[in-house]
A and B are shown apart, each in its own frame.
Chain A
């Protein structure tokens, strides 16, 4: 079996991952599965709580219809096993002997209590890479904290930095903290994997969701020690520089985001406005190529007044154009501007279509085809491909337990009756 997989045409084809993660942490196993690993979701017999994450196909909150599950468990297989039973414990340990990675997101210490922590599992398989994802890390004063998205987003400093100034700060509308931790877990697992390929030694990877969120802060953390200030939320304005510049403008049919600088934005906008005869005199006469917001503060009120006038006039022009018109011009004239895409805009993107991004998958149980986002990266030799749908509950029990692990068929039937599988 191993030899056959050794010649796999996918980078991680020869390797097996036991995936015990929940929610957005599933992104870790999704990356490994896309890279070719045999990723097996190990669910409790009653099903993974992630199956109750919305949105749902046709809004039906059925555990087999979670679009969240479909998206982030694509390319994985699935088994059920009650790890809290003696038999479940033993079978899991057997599986670990035949696996390369275990990834999990239980509260720190839970698997240790079951005798399935890293110390025990690494005795069964010294080359094992075990990746544990948790709100704040495996040890420390906040190790036992619970952290759904908004809590981790807040403790990691991102919540503080977004939103209008006259209302409480906001998060990104779809939960991101777990996904970021899942991505860091994939990176950490692969660093540990390379260490193992060179030395044969496995190890434990400790991923903190809080730290993963901090790594999205774009160096905001250094403002207190270096500038003696905290950055604050600023709505549609960008925070970070000495002077706040507007980063989101309304246009005819939505919004666009811009990087408000001289050569990449103001100059090409002035040229466009001149073509249409709507440039105020101060903009037509100015030399904007060398303009930067960084130098505005030295000019005091006059500099600030100029910035506000630029924002006003350019804003009045932008609102006469659609997202498509603005982005087309940005592509042709190198303007630092992009549409704030809606999901419909993303679906209609000519770029994504041209690159064959979208993937159709037929769901026999729904008697329907669903469209999935495509590969997260393109490999020239080993392209990521969609091998199978997210698993139904216990879909691969027979295949994994009987065919691959060698469990006798009647033993499996017995374990099913006992609720272990």
Chain B
């Protein structure tokens, strides 16, 4: 299971990526390139490890630099090169790699001064490789008074406005799971990088891409921002209510064991409302009532939610979903993580995968983000240890001699977490 034998075409075959990224946005962006065939050299460090390597979930629930599934999940199909960038010879080595290997893309996700301090910013790399596509992403972007701000996706999500509108009107914000901005940004970044490759194909010109995680994430609230600027409405927390239709919420179902069980239901049209009434057996409170129009349902949505919840409480969540979906009413179980592993639709798509990791053995991974009919891509390799492929990269890809590699070891340029 160590990577699937790759027989199908790979979209990015032949593409070379030198990847300095860490944490969320950068690694997930270059993961798309790696899973779809690019050769990605992921530069990491033991002395200054990717913070995700210290974060659970861990294999066997046991911490360790090589044991974090959190880090592994975002870094499939990449080759590991371990460098101690505080040693000056490391920077010389990177320059040699760029000169000899001629990467198409350099990617980095530090605060703006880091690559500059290493002498590896866009201008420096461009001097060696004039048509390089240089992808930079950080919280605030490469310029502006807040450019040096260092943070995580959790904080970018707060800045971009998601926290303030999540939760109940009479309480403070609830945290949307995880580091939401870290997951909004990468697919957009990938689209932009391929566009830059296309521009280079036509014109021979490379360029720098500057993705501010704040600016990109806030696009997902663009209509809310326009509503404020044009109409003066500032969105506040509103539980699960929708601005357009009702009912829209999660409703109690019969508990399964000790576990809370809920089903989401959303009625977006009169047709769906009538179908819901039919499934419920047309109880008297639905007949000829104020709920028969969209405006009426919206106006009395709190009361409607209570009435609906009394009915759903007599059903099991999965059965209720099937019953309602068959009748054309949008409904879905509020799934926890175990439910996802048991979801027949995800099984049909072959979503979850297990890859054989060098230290941990079989590790679970989230699968591909989309299915492509002709160049499907694959999780080709488990997460590399730091520096797992030092020799392969330096000798086979770059063409260094045994002696040169031995010197780099002696100079403490190379690191591994083997």
Contact = CB atoms under 8 A, between A and B. Distances in A.
A55 B337 contact: no
Interface string A375-393: 1111111100000000000
Contacts of B231: 55, 57-59
Contacts of A377: 188-189, 192, 209-211, 215-216
Interface string A314-352: 000000000000000011001011111111111101111
Interface string B243-276: 1100011101000000000111110100010000
Nearest to A238: B175
A231 B56 CA distance: 12
A299 to B, nearest CB: 15
B382 interface: no
Given A147-B330, A203-B373, A216-B178, A256 B240 contact: no
Contact of B172 (A228, A236, A241, A242): A236
A341 B159 contact: yes
Interface stretch (A108-116, A206-214, A283-291): A206-214
A267 interface: no
B210 to A, nearest CB: 4
B307 interface: no
Interface stretch (B93-101, B280-288, B343-351, B408-416): B343-351
B366 A219 contact: yes
A32 B392 CA distance: 38
Nearest to A261: B51
Contacts of B325: 142, 144-146
Given A35-B191, A55-B243, A154-B332, A221 B341 contact: yes
Given A219-B366, A226-B364, A241-B56, A191 B207 contact: no
Interface stretch (A158-166, A273-281, A409-417): A158-166
B227 interface: yes
Interface string A173-193: 111100110011111111111
Contacts of B13: 198
Interface string B195-231: 1111101100111111110111011111111111111
A380 B207 contact: yes
Interface stretch (B39-47, B84-92, B141-149, B395-403): B141-149
Contacts, number: 522
A373 B219 contact: yes
B199 A11 contact: yes
A32 to B, nearest CB: 8
B158 interface: yes
Contacts of A11: 195-196, 198-199
Contact of B195 (A67, A190, A203): A190
Nearest to A30: B219
A222 B198 CA distance: 36
B262 A214 contact: no
B148 A331 contact: yes
Given A195-B374, A215-B183, A226-B69, A71 B222 contact: yes
Nearest to B330: A146
A232 B215 CA distance: 30
Contacts of B212: 355, 378
Given A151-B331, A190-B190, 6 more contacts: A161-B176, A187-B186, A222-B70, A235-B167, A247-B154, A336-B155
Interface residues of A, number: 164
B166 interface: yes
Given A140-B348, A250-B172, A372-B226, A240 B63 contact: no
Contacts of A205: 370-373
A248 B172 contact: yes
A25 interface: no
A58 B375 contact: no
B315 interface: no
B334 interface: yes
7 contacts: A170-B240, A194-B197, A231-B336, A257-B155, A341-B161, A343-B227, A351-B145
Interface string A216-238: 11111111111110111111111
B152 A259 contact: yes
B174 interface: yes
Contacts of B225: 343, 346-347, 373
B205 to A, nearest CB: 6
Interface majority SS on A: helix, strand, loop or mixed?
Answer: mixed
B79 to A, nearest CB: 20
B264 to A, nearest CB: 4
A141 B242 contact: no
B330 to A, nearest CB: 4
B352 interface: yes
Contacts of A71: 222-223, 226
A186 B193 CA distance: 12
**Interface size range on B against A:** 35 or more
Contacts of B214: 349, 351-352
Contacts of A338: 151, 155-156, 158-159
B271 to A, nearest CB: 11
B57 A226 contact: yes
B195 A12 contact: yes
B177 A53 contact: no
Nearest to B61: A227
A207 B370 contact: yes
A376 B335 contact: no
B22 interface: no
Contacts of B372: 188, 191-192, 195, 203-206
A60 B269 CA distance: 20
B11 interface: yes
A151 B266 contact: yes
Contact of A225 (B36, B199, B230, B364): B364
B34 to A, nearest CB: 12
Nearest to A221: B337
B389 interface: no
A183 B188 contact: yes
A209 to B, nearest CB: 11
Contact of A340 (B54, B163, B234, B373): B163
Nearest 4 pairs of A and B residues by beta carbon: A218-B178, A173-B165, A140-B348, A11-B195
A67 to B, nearest CB: 4
A140 B371 CA distance: 13
A47 interface: no
A255 B11 contact: no
A201 interface: yes
Given A150-B249, A191-B194, A354-B145, A206 B330 contact: no
A247 B158 CA distance: 10
Contact of A211 (B57, B146, B201, B349): B349
A31 B196 contact: no
B58 interface: yes
A187 B28 CA distance: 12
A237 B173 CA distance: 10
A352 B215 contact: yes
B164 interface: yes
Contacts of B189: 377
A148 B228 contact: no
A225 to B, nearest CB: 5
Contacts of B371: 137, 205-206
Given A203-B375, A218-B183, A224 B348 contact: no
A355 B337 contact: no
A57 to B, nearest CB: 6
A237 B175 contact: yes
B128 interface: no
